[in-house]
Amino acid sequence: MKRILNYINGAFAAPIKGSYLKLYNPALGLVYAEAPDSDEADMQLAIDAAQKAFPAWSNLTTDKRHEYLSAIAQKITDNLEDLALAESIDNGKPLALAKAVDIPRASSNFKFFANAITQFSSEAHEMKGTAINYTLRKPLGVVGCISPWNLPLYLFTWKIAPALAAGNTVVAKPSEVTPMTAFLLAEICIEVGLPKGVLNIVHGLGEKTGAVLSAHPQIKAISFTGSTKVGGAIASIAAPLFKKLSLEMGGKNPNIIFADCDYEKMIETTLKSSFANQGQICLCGSRILIEKSIYEKFKNDFVERTKALKVGNPLSEDTQVGAVVSKPHFDKIKQYIDLAQKEGGNLLCGGKAVKPQGHEEGWFIEPTVIEGLSMDCRTNQEEIFGPVVTLIPFETDAEALALANESNYGLSATIWTQNLNRAHQMADEIEAGIVWVNTWLMRDLRTPFGGMKNSGVGREGGLEALRFFTEPKNICIDYTKHKLNS
Q: Which residues contact 337 (CB under 8 A, 6 or more apart)?
A: 347, 351, 368, 370, 388
Half-sphere exposure of 256 (CA within 13 A, CB side): 27
- Residue 17 CB neighbour total at 10 angstroms: 12
- Length of the chain (residues): 486
Q: Do residues 471 and 138 make contact, with C-beta atoms less than 8 angstroms apart?
A: yes
| 378 φ/ψ sector (left φ>0, alpha ψ -120 to 50, else beta) | alpha
Q: List all residues 6 or more positions away from 139 whose beta carbon is below 8 Å from its beta carbon.
A: 54, 58, 166, 167, 168, 469, 470, 471
Residue type, 320: Q
Q: How far is Cα 97 from Cα 272, in angstroms, rounded to an integer?
A: 11
Distance in angstroms (rounded) separating the CA atoms of residues 470 and 463:
11
Angstrom CA distances, 109 to 42, 172, 295, 317, 380, stand at 27, 16, 39, 26, 33
Cβ(298)–Cβ(271) below 8 Å: no
**Rounded to an integer, what distance in angstroms lies between the CA atom of residue 278 and that of residue 468?**
31
C-beta of residue 90 within 8 angstroms of C-beta of residue 23: yes
Angle at 50 between CA 47 and CA 55, to 5 degrees: 135
Q: Residue 365 in contact with residue 333, Cβ under 8 Å?
A: yes
Query: 282 an active-site residue?
Result: yes
Catalytic option among 248, 291, 383, 460? 248
State the catalytic residue, choosing from 282, 366, 383, 464.
282
CA gap 430, 369 in Å, rounded: 24
Catalytic amino acids?
248, 282
